[in-house]
Structure 1
Amino acid sequence: MATRRVERTQESRRLLVAAAAELFAEKGYRQTSFIDIAEKAGISRGSIPWHFGNKLGLLEAVLDDRLHAMLTGFAPPASPRLDDVLDQVVGFIRLPVTRLFITLLGEAVEVGSPIREHFARLHAALRQGVRARIAAEALPAGTTPEAFTVILVGAVIGVHAQWRVSPEAVDLEAVRATLRALLPPDLGQA
């Protein structure tokens, strides 16, 4: 009996996270209500505070879940070749789960936003992951690995946002080829 209750609890939590992720990606965090989430999940809205405490707790669960799903598809390449890393970046942009991050970014940049700190941590993790793959000696003279990393992460976020808004106007393969041409060939040999 206890096992069945645990399974139902886990399933309810999973349904709520999936519904919230979809709605947050469509409508944004602030515009999504408990009622919207409960209706989409087919679960009573009283379950949300029971599972997550509050809406911010649910958002944290959604971001953790989506970040885990995203990183699962973005494992370090077997070789540090720049072409392999660029292939992963384009694959990352195309993942449906990453739409959530672009939708919420507009809310995250507002001072006092409840999700601002989550995005600061996400961006720090992205910079750290990119920085770990950069061979400092491959950078142009006068360039620091930290500043170069900020530029790369910013470029990917910007390309991602543009592609989500106008996929017909942004050729990801051409962007990949151009980025490849601009980057030092031995950049990924860290």
Structure 2
Amino acid sequence: MVRKRKEDVEITRHLLLEAAEEVFSHRGYAQATFQEIAERAGLSRGAIYWHFKDKSELLDAVLDRARLPWDQLPERFSCLSQTPTVAQLSRALGDGLQEIVSDPRLHRVTLILLHRTELIVENDQVYSRLTRIFNRIKTYVIAALNMRFKEADGTPCTGIPAIATSIKALLTGSIYEWLLNQAEIELKHIPATVEALISPLQGKTSALNQECVLEHRVGGGLVVSGQ
């Protein structure tokens, strides 16, 4: 009997979260009401109050369920056995966008995060999460490029932070525009665009006579190549 009760509670919570995710993504956080969410879930408003003290707590629970690809960037990078090539890095970032647009839940949560700007003012968690996501993209790119592109003295190339900022702007801007108007954005071209943004580092390697050398790992060893 206790087990059945627990299962019922979990089912109710799941239904509420599914309904809230849909209502928040379509109506926006500020416009959404508990009545709409309850009706979408086929439950009463009392069921919502039993599980969540207010709308902000409900939103937090909705966001916590979805793990965006960019949330996982630090984990993916730390698990790499070797430094990613520029092509691998570009594909990984492009794949993250494709995953967001092809997964209904990630699509809805991204819509809530990026298109419902009232959340930035009303909900600290949304602002913090957006900041963390954007910073993770930049941190990941800087770390990957720092390991691959070095100045002649072994220090990271000075242009890397600016390139990482441009890549972050490309990714966040592209997904934002795609959510507004899918017809105008070709996400399949993102990896090539990322490579183009990184190309000054590769051009510097060949044009400036070893001022910046390209490092890459082969197996467990480190090979340094230059002009």
Q: TM-score range by the shorter chain?
A: 0.7 to 0.9
State the 1:107 CA deviation.
3.9
2:30 matched to 1:23?
Answer: no
Partners of 1:127 and 1:150 within 8 A in 2: no
Taking a change above 3 Å as real, the CA distance of residues 127 and 182 of structure 1, as seen in their structure-2 partners, is: same
Question: What's the offset of the Cα at 1:176?
Answer: 3.0
- Aligned AA (2:136): Q
Letter in 2 for 1:91: Q
Q: Match for 1:136: what amino acid?
A: N
Shift, 1:128, TM fit: 2.7
Q: In the alignment, is the contact (CA less than 8 A) between 1:25 and 1:100 conserved in 2? A: yes
Counterparts of residues 41-190 of structure 1 (less than 5 Å): 41-66=41-66, 68=67, 70-71=68-69, 76=76, 80=84, 81-94=88-101, 95-96=103-104, 97-108=106-117, 113-128=121-136, 130-134=138-142, 135-136=145-146, 138=149, 141-143=157-159, 145=161, 148-184=163-199
Structure 2 counterpart SS, 1:132? helix
Query: Larger deviation: 53-62 or 167-176?
Result: 167-176
| Aligned-residue offset at 1:49 | 1.7
Task: Report if aligned partners of 2:20, 2:62 keep a CA contact under 8 Å in 1.
Answer: yes
Instruction: Look up the match of 1:13.
Output: 13
Q: CA deviation at 1:169?
A: 1.3
CA distance in 2, matches of 1:157, 1:173: 15
Kindly provide the CA deviation profile for residues 19-63 of structure 1, in whole angstroms up to 9, marking residues without a partner as x: 100111111101110000000011111111210111100000001
Please tell me the residue identity of whatever aligns with 1:131.
Answer: T
> 1:121 and 1:168 mapped to 2: Cα distance?
28
CA distance in 2, matches of 1:30, 1:18: 18
Q: Distance in 1 between matches of 2:11 and 2:181?
A: 35
CA 1:148/1:117 → structure 2, altered by over 3 Å: closer, same or farther?
farther
Fraction of identical pairs, as percent: 30
- The residue type equivalent to 2:167 in the other structure is L
Q: TM-score, normalization: structure 2? A: 0.67
Quickly say closer, same or farther: Cα 1:59–1:19, change in 2 above 3 A: same
Unmatched runs of 5 consecutive residues or more in structure 2? 151-155, 203-213, 218-227
Unaligned runs of 5+ in 1: none
Give the Å deviation of 1:126. Answer: 4.3
Could you tell me whether the CA contact under 8 Å between 1:21 and 1:100 is conserved in 2?
A: yes
Letter in 2 for 1:124: R
* Counterpart residue type for residue 188 of structure 2: E
Closer, same or farther in 2 for the Cα pair 1:122/1:73, shift >3 Å?
Answer: closer
Distance 1:48 1:154, change over 3 A: farther
**Going by fraction, where is strand more abundant, 1 or 2?**
2
Residues 101-153 of structure 1, C-alpha deviations (whole Å, 9 max, x = no match):
23443444677x222442323431442355135332638954353x5544433
Measured in 1, the distance between the counterparts of 2:166 and 2:133 equals: 15
